[in-house]
A and B are shown apart, each in its own frame.
Chain A
């Protein structure tokens, strides 16, 4: 009987061993919220001129960028993909606020290859969750071509 109790106890403690899992999983899916009426309305919202400028710069580089309003790591964000990379662009009141939001951007990246950087009042975050860019060439292109 006692071994059975021990096994049960250990099994119960397994989630504690992997408590970080939940955090990263939610980070990873935050850009893919289900379409509630509110979210659907948000997605109809056109991109702001600053975000359009970023997307246009990527498209000029030959990258395939698809972005729509969505939830990221800030209050006013667009989410989507650039090639096979997940991307979030969040807009802040000024450059200082954006700089401070780099860390939440990295938190959104989670445990995968990625980057988050302030570009004026924007914070752009990219995550390679599908391991589609093993040498980082697309991420580098995306970082270098975004307006400074």
Chain B
């Protein structure tokens, strides 16, 4: 009896405490609304607060506020948007209009949308209505990649209208750079499948498990395919049996 009473009392206290656990969380820029709050998109562009948390894969810290680096279209965004293919930097200060420089990286594989265009310059090539990152990726991009590439596991199952990019990627695109090919996090599974050749450079790989794209001199791209790979639109896959 005594133990039960204590247990009930403690549970009641915990319930009240968790109800009070609501705290302000800072955001900057447009982002998805938490499902618990009805879902959809929050269209507030400036700094603001909500009482729900931001995850660590789709958001980056921008001077104490959470900045969304995912694809808002996946959550119902219906405003102006720009198409990108593959990983690329985001110059957050340009997007949100703050003075301090802050470059974050988008690790979404394949075609996706953002609400913003990149700043003009040699970093990006605009081809086929999409932006491709064609500059030399810095070490910081590679170092942070294992921590953030898991974002693709969030987007892979989401059904929404992704941009259709059917043209060949430009020379220097990060997706076919030697040493910078798509490497999706997770336990390394190197299952070599002979006879599977992806004719590059327009490669789109969606996967939740380790995928390594090894790039010999262009134009051929050899792919060592791991378990559970989905290869989406814009990909020409050839095997001994012919085109898939």
Of the stretches A9-17, A49-57, A62-70, A74-82, the one at the interface is A9-17
How many angstroms from the CA of A18 to the CA of B14 in the assembled complex? 10
B10 within 8 A of A: yes
Of the stretches A28-36, A37-45, A88-96, A131-139, the one at the interface is A131-139
Q: Is the CB of B47 within 8 A of A2?
A: no
**Do A21 and B48 form a contact, CB below 8 Å, given A6-B6, A10-B9?**
no
Q: Is the CB of A18 within 8 A of B5?
A: no
How many angstroms from the CA of A110 to the CA of B50 in the assembled complex? 9
Q: Is the CB of A14 within 8 A of B16?
A: yes
Give A86 Cβ to nearest chain B Cβ, in Å. 14
Name the residue on A nearest B3 (C-beta). A3
Name the residue on A nearest B48 (C-beta). A115
A114 within 8 A of B: yes
Q: Is the CB of B17 within 8 A of A17?
A: yes
Interfacial residues of chain A within 101-148, with CB under 8 A of chain B in the complex: 106, 109-115, 117, 134-137, 139-140, 143-144
- Residues of chain A with a CB closer than 8 A to B158's CB: none
B144 within 8 A of A: no
- Interface flags, A17-28, vs B, CB<8A=1, else 0: 111110000000
Q: Is the CB of A136 within 8 A of B16?
A: no
- Residues of chain B with a CB closer than 8 A to A6's CB: 2, 5-6, 9
Name the residue on B nearest A18 (C-beta). B20
Question: Which of B1, B2, B41, B48 has the most A CB atoms < 10 Å from its CB?
Answer: B48
Identify the B interface with A (CB < 8 A).
Answer: 1-2, 5-6, 9-10, 12-13, 16-17, 19-20, 22-24, 33, 37-38, 40-51
Identify the A interface with B (CB < 8 A).
Answer: 2-3, 6-7, 10-11, 13-14, 17-21, 106, 109-115, 117, 134-137, 139-140, 143-144
